[in-house]
Amino acid sequence: MLAGVLGIAYIVQVVATWIDFWGLVGGLAAPPLRPAFAGLGYGNPSAVMTVSILLTLPAVAHLGFGSRRRAAASTALVLLAIFCTIASGSRAGWLAVALTTVVTAVAWLLSGEHRDTVRRALQERGARIAIAGVGIAALVVAALFLPGALARFGAGGEAVRLGFFQRPAAHHRRLRVLCFQRDGWKCVYCGTEGNRLTLDHVVPKSRGGESVWENVVTSCAPCNLRKGNRLPHEVSMELHKKPRAPAPVLFIRLAAPKIPDGWQPYLTGLSTA
């Protein structure tokens, strides 16, 4: 139960990261397998993978493969754990799963009784269809994940890991700088460059304003203070430029030095666009 919940929660988070990443790239691409641990805010994905496997083992041992329903639940848990391992981008985890699968299969087939079971099963039409289905699904998954997996094998370890620990603050700074850059390092209200720059929500958060590019502008500290929780026209202030989202390519280029190194392999070809 716990294994299932954790596995699903983890997958939801990973997929959310992928969606972020696709937003940045501007289209669907091979899912990045753990680029700089991005989006995995609460912990090391290898640890998540380990916990998911550790929880899966007793769960499967408890459920067993006695009845059809139990076998189905056990299989689902094992598949979930395998998917978590793939998505964690942990190369050691991938190796471990591959080895375990091969060793388990060989050990299982060494017994003549099990070989007979397989032989009998292969003569059934339903079993053959099921095996073909699993095979096709495996091929689709392999095609989807292979580019990400290869990039992951080509990527370094330690530098990426370091980036993870510095990530949250750095990410926030990056967005801040990006906003300042978009607005030319000037207050959008008074045009000053001299004062301390801050980020201002045009429609204040307290009035339902969102933290989106169209609602966040560069403002000097005095203007920000003067505006407070009001709309610009209420304090007769004027926006000299309508805030817009930076163009995707510009966004990537502006952020380029700060994009996690692990993402770079996936972004090649975009920077020249």
Residues that bind Zn ion (CB under 5 A): 187, 189-190, 192, 220, 223
Minimum separation from the CB atom of position 88 to Zn ion (A): 46
Minimum separation from the CB atom of position 210 to Zn ion (A): 22
Minimum separation from the CB atom of position 230 to Zn ion (A): 15
Q: How far apart are CA 119 and CA 116, in angstroms?
A: 5
Nearer to Zn ion, 19 or 239 (CB): 239
Phi, psi (5° rounding) for residue 38? Answer: -55, 140
Q: What's the number of CA atoms in the CB half-sphere (13 Å) around residue 36?
A: 22
Task: Report how far apart the first and last C-alpha atoms of the chain are (Å, whole number).
Answer: 47
Nearer to Zn ion, 190 or 255 (CB): 190
Nearer to Zn ion, 3 or 188 (CB): 188
Nearer to Zn ion, 25 or 190 (CB): 190
Minimum separation from the CB atom of position 191 to Zn ion (A): 7
Minimum separation from the CB atom of position 173 to Zn ion (A): 21
Residue 88 near residue 149 (C-beta atoms within 8 A): no
Nearer to Zn ion, 6 or 237 (CB): 237
Residue 49 near residue 164 (C-beta atoms within 8 A): no
Nearer to Zn ion, 85 or 224 (CB): 224
Phi, psi (5° rounding) for residue 198? Answer: -135, 170
Give the residue among 218, 208, 215, 221 at the shortest CA–CA distance from 176. 218
Minimum separation from the CB atom of position 197 to Zn ion (A): 9
Minimum separation from the CB atom of position 166 to Zn ion (A): 31
Contacts 24+ apart (CB under 8 A), 158-167: 159/261, 160/34, 160/35, 160/36, 160/37, 160/260, 160/261, 160/262, 161/37, 163/36, 163/37, 163/260, 163/261, 163/262, 164/36, 164/37, 164/40, 164/44, 167/36, 167/37, 167/38, 167/260
Q: How far apart are CA 54 and CA 6, in angstroms?
A: 11
Residue 244 near residue 214 (C-beta atoms within 8 A): yes
Nearer to Zn ion, 94 or 189 (CB): 189
